[in-house]
Chains A and B, each alone.
Chain A
Amino acid sequence: KNEVEQSPQNLTAQEGEFITINCSYSVGISALHWLQQHPGGGIVSLFMLSSGKKKHGRLIATINIQEKHSSLHITASHPRDSAVYICAVARAGNQFYFGTGTSLTVIP
């Protein structure tokens, strides 16, 4: 069993739709990271969370420490949001565990 589980694995949405990607983890963490990987491989850090909620533009990330669960939301999705979204958790000592990613395709 992976320490980090993401769902769904693949997601196709129409432009403008509200999108939710979920991440559940089974280990104690010091922080949770949402990453975005575009075709071509470049990785960008979207959010780092240790509690609560963060918002950046059309992106919102939430975390529930008690339930060991985080969600990434994209409002008013756009084709340029098409990418793989990866959840990563950091443990004490900076050990990292990664989800397998959610491949998002937004259709115009």
Chain B
Amino acid sequence: GAGVSQSPSNKVTEKGKDVELRCDPISGHTALYWYRQSLGQGLEFLIYFQGNSAPDKSGLPSDRFSAERTGGSVSTLTIQRTQQEDSAVYLCASSLNTPGWSSYNEQFFGPGTRLTVL
């Protein structure tokens, strides 16, 4: 079985343009996570999906960031009117997450998309 895949692997864009980043989770994984890692900084949680729903969007840095997930599978992270401070590696992870109290399961990470905003 394939792991988590992300596309593109690298994206260079001009300031002010919109970008879409794609994540294909492991088949059957109901939970999907987006993180970013800026140069020289730690990981930052952006958003989490359980199925197609995102219970908590508070990690998104600004209203220029949005994410959706369709069919409980592929997710897209969209950044509108990109700024230079958006340059980072955007990582996606998925996990099985069964419902219930112990719903947190091990995450499997994708290789990331390196976004550079000029």
Task: Please give me the residue from chain B that is nearest to A31 by CB atom.
Answer: B104
B89 within 8 A of partner (CB): yes
Interface residues of A in 29-84 (CB under 8 A from B): 30-31, 33, 35, 41-45, 48, 50
In which size bucket is the chain B interface? 20 to 34
Q: Say yes or no: B59 contacts A95, CB within 8 Å.
A: yes
Q: Say yes or no: A86 contacts B56, CB within 8 Å.
A: no
How near does chain B come to A105, taking the closest CB pair, in angstroms?
Answer: 17
Contact of A33 with B59 at beta-carbon distance under 8 Å, contacts A41-B89, A98-B43 already known: no
A106 within 8 A of partner (CB): no
Contact of A48 with B44 at beta-carbon distance under 8 Å, contacts A93-B56, A94-B56 already known: no
Q: Say yes or no: B42 contacts A43, CB within 8 Å.
A: no
Residues in A neighbouring B37, C-beta threshold 8 A = 41
User: Residue B109 contacts which of A31, A43, A48, A96 (CB distance < 8 angstroms)?
Assistant: A43
Interface residues of A (CB under 8 A from B): 30-31, 33, 35, 41-45, 48, 50, 86, 88, 90, 93-101
The 3 closest A-B pairs by CB, nearest first: A43-B109, A96-B45, A98-B43
A-B contact list, 27 entries, CB within 8 Å:
A30-B102, A30-B104, A31-B104, A33-B106, A33-B107, A42-B111, A42-B112, A43-B91, A45-B107, A45-B108, A48-B104, A48-B106, A50-B102, A50-B104, A86-B42, A88-B43, A90-B104, A94-B48, A94-B50, A95-B45, A95-B56, A95-B59, A96-B35, A96-B48, A98-B42, A99-B42, A100-B42
